[in-house]
Structure 1
Amino acid sequence: MFARRVQEMLRSPLFRLGTRSSPRTSGRIVPVGSSATAGGKIALLERGIILSSVAYLAFETYKWKRGQTVVHASIKVEDIVEQADYLYGSGETIKLYELLSQYKDRNDAELLWRLARAARDMALLSTTPRDEKKRLVYESFDCAKKALEVDELCWAAHKWYSICLSNVGDYEGIKTKIGNAYIVKEHLERAKELNPKDATTIHIIGVWCYMFADLPWYQVKIASALFGTPPSATFEEALTYFLQAEEVDPHFYSTNLLFLGKTYLKLKNKSLALDWLTKAKDFPARSDEDIEVQKEATDLLKSLGEKI
């Protein structure tokens, strides 16, 4: 029962993030406040703004003229990244994966972490066969690991290494998954250190803290017996990260609003819990995940006696 509880916990939004979570910008460290990444540009790119439809059409025409063959030497990394970010923002998961797979042997962190993300997104597709899902999960981890080896200062590589490492744990058993939790947080914190303006990284750390703070005392005791010293955290720590994510990018993610409400409930602050849960309920639904958030927030509000 404990193992099932932990497995469900570790499959929460923390490790489902990805389809909307990573800025379509350089994963390298950039000074805070730079107009290239901070604030406006990241916020816009996070919402899937099309970067260059003209460039993308030109790229497709190029492939057609070359009989669908891409001459790697003639295309700059910046051009590939732009095409990849266009496809990512358009939700073209399969095309994105096919594009980036052509460059998997390039030792470029910007391409590799994007391929890691694309492979993971492919694994999450309902149409992907089970065996293929496993292969894609391991491929995503290998790409993220290679991205880190190429450029240890690439914050996005740290972020996706942590997410992909957790996904690999789904195939290697609960004990490995728990043991990897320390490494997951370590790389998330490194990503945050390198880029303190990525709201999603901050949110994920908050969810990590919330999950382990939410373990009942008797399950912590069982975990200690099975795994030695299990990861631990407090709801106060989780709240700090969720609030920080909101400060960096207000209302950037419906799940962050929901977790703020749930965390305040855990801290027995009903007034603030109602406020954030209402915001989560009223958040415009742009994805299936947003719809799920709206439903959970609505159910929690009703359980607290609110009339919806």
Structure 2
Amino acid sequence: MLDLLCFINILEALLIQGSSNKYITASTDTEEQSFPVPKALNTHAEELNLDVLLRKADNLRAKETSKTESFELLDDYKEKFRDEVEFIWRFARAYGDMSELSTNIQEKKHFANIGKTLAEKAVTRAPMNGHCHLWYAVLCGYVSEFEGLQNKVNYGHRFKEHLDKAIQLLPEEPFLYYLNGRYCYAISKLSWIEKKMAATLFGKIPSSTVQEALQNFLKVEDLHPRFSKSNYMYLAKCYIDLKQTKEAMKFCNLAEQLPCVTKEDKMAHEDMKKMCTAFKG
């Protein structure tokens, strides 16, 4: 029966991310010594100041192949800048990257838990910083993959709460609308019986529509044209659901023009091929 409640798997599908002020605490050990932190590729001959460090880490992270190096760079400075909010949320984000990149389940869990703890610290220290809320939401999503049924739902609520706050604080950030679109789309696919069952077990379940999801994905394209292959895929899916075949095909074609950069892109590419084949067939 519980398999029907796809709401609890929203965050697993997203690979991202109660209303009380108490943050959810993961049931797993998050001590850093549980797993060795990858040894830095470079020994930094000179000390970097905070601004230079953050800029360098951001530049490295912009390339999928350099995300590990970005993490290692930040790890080198974790003691020096441990109390700087701009450092903390980036370090949390980097732990999320390491969780996503790892192929070992225990390592993925370990990195996700440390990242969530750091992101929680960032939100507590800077509640009006949208990036802190964004990455807390994302890390909650990563952690939820390893949690039981009840915590998956709790993390779902927490994800949406912090995502909404991040959108309020960073209204021009396309990634936020992409995440919100994914969330709305997943919610929109729940059947009436699934919503009823979920509400009975866990309380009120949020509602959304394909149209709401579409508006979020269109907002992404408006803010950042050619944002990602995945965004085009979801635009196509929304238009298919709305029976607007011409628009759906348009975004299928646009998606084919973008390269596969991330793991998510590769998954989207496979989905797009199936959709395009169905159209042409």
Instruction: Tell me the TM-score range normalised by the shorter chain.
Output: 0.7 to 0.9
Give the aligned partner of residue 30 of structure 1: none
1:104 counterpart = 2:78:
yes
- Looking at structure 1, the residues matched to 175 and 232 of structure 2 have their Cα atoms a distance apart, in angstroms, of 12
CA distance in 2: counterparts of 1:167 and 1:85, whole angstroms: 21
Q: Which residue of 2 aligns with 1:162?
A: 137
Distance 1:107 1:263 in 2: 43
For residue 74 of structure 2, what is the amino acid of its counterpart?
L
State the one-letter code of the partner of 2:267. Answer: E
Contact 2:102 2:108 in 1 (8 A): no
The answer to whether the 8 A contact 2:92-2:114 is kept is yes
Task: Note if 1:114 corresponds to 2:114.
Answer: no
Residue 285 of structure 1 corresponds to which residue in structure 2? 260
Distance 1:172 1:287 in 2: 25
In 2, Cα distance between the equivalents of 1:208 and 1:279?
Answer: 23
Mapped to 2, the partners of 1:94 and 1:302 lie a distance apart of 36
Q: What is the CA deviation profile of residues 69-94 of structure 1, one whole-angstrom value per residue up to 9, with x for unaligned ones?
A: x5xxxx42102102212321243233
Q: How does 1:63-102 map to 2 (within 5 A)?
A: 63-64=44-45, 75-90=48-63, 91-102=65-76
State the partner residue of 1:10.
Answer: 11
Deviates more, 1:225-234 or 1:92-101: 92-101
Match of 2:213 among 209, 223, 238: 238
Q: Secondary structure at the match of 2:267?
A: helix
Counterparts of 1:242 and 1:178, CA distance in 2: 24
| Other-structure match for 1:40 | none
Aligned residue identity for 1:93: K
Q: After TM superposition, give the deviation of residue 182 of structure 1 in Å.
A: 2.3
Contact 1:282/1:294 (8 A) holds in 2: no
Q: Measure how far apart 1:246 and its partner are.
A: 0.8
User: Where do 5+ consecutive residues of structure 1 fail to align?
Assistant: 18-59
Cα offsets for 1:97-137 (capped at 9, x unmatched): 2221244352112111111111111112244x332222211
Preserved CA contact (<8 Å) 1:181 1:231: no
* TM score, norm. by length of structure 2: 0.81
Letter in 1 for 2:238: T
Map 1:92-241 to 2 at 5 A.
92-105=66-79, 106-127=82-103, 129-241=104-216
Provide structure 2 residue ranges, at least 5 long, that are not aligned to the other structure: 18-41
CA distance in 1, matches of 2:71, 2:93: 9
Quickly say closer, same or farther: Cα 1:16–1:181, change in 2 above 3 A. Answer: closer
Report if aligned partners of 2:15, 2:142 keep a CA contact under 8 Å in 1.
yes
Q: Please give the alpha-carbon distance, in whole angstroms, between the structure 2 residues aligned to 1:125 and 1:268.
A: 37
CA contact (8 A) 1:278 1:297 kept: no
The aligned length equals: 253
Root-mean-square deviation (Å) = 2.2
In 2 relative to 1, CA 191–100 (structure 1 residues): closer, same or farther, beyond 3 Å? same
Superposed displacement of residue 6, structure 1: 4.3
What's the % identity of the aligned pairs? 30
Alpha-carbon distance in structure 1 between the residues aligned to 2:261 and 2:142: 25
Shift of 1:16: 4.9
Shift of 1:299: 0.7
Rounded to whole Å, the distance in 1 between the matches of 2:117 and 2:136 is 9
Counterpart secondary structure, 1:11: helix
Once the two structures are superposed, what CA deviation does each residue of 1:220-267 show, in whole Å capped at 9, x if it has no partner? Answer: 222122112122211111111111111111121111111011011112
1:7, distance to aligned residue in structure 2 (A): 5.2
What TM-score does the superposition give when structure 1 sets the normalisation length? 0.75
Aligned residue type for 2:251: W
Evaluate the alpha carbon distance shift between residue 231 and residue 179 of structure 1 in structure 2; reply closer, same or farther with a 3 A threshold. Answer: farther
2:36 alignment counterpart? none
Task: Select which of 225, 228, 235 maps to 1:250.
Answer: 225
Q: Is 2:9–2:152's contact at 8 Å kept on the other side of the alignment?
A: no
SS of match in other structure, 2:15: helix
Kindly indicate whether residue 269 of structure 2 is the aligned counterpart of residue 294 of structure 1. Answer: yes
Asked if structure 1 preserves the Cα contact closer than 8 Å seen for 2:91 and 2:115, the reply is: yes
Alignment of 1:28-39 (within 5 A): none
Q: Is the 8 A contact 1:112 1:147 kept in 2?
A: yes
Return the structure number with greater relative CO, CA threshold 8 A, min gap 6: 2
- Find the aligned partners of 1:248 and 1:108 in 2 and give their Cα distance: 29
Equivalence for 1:51 = none
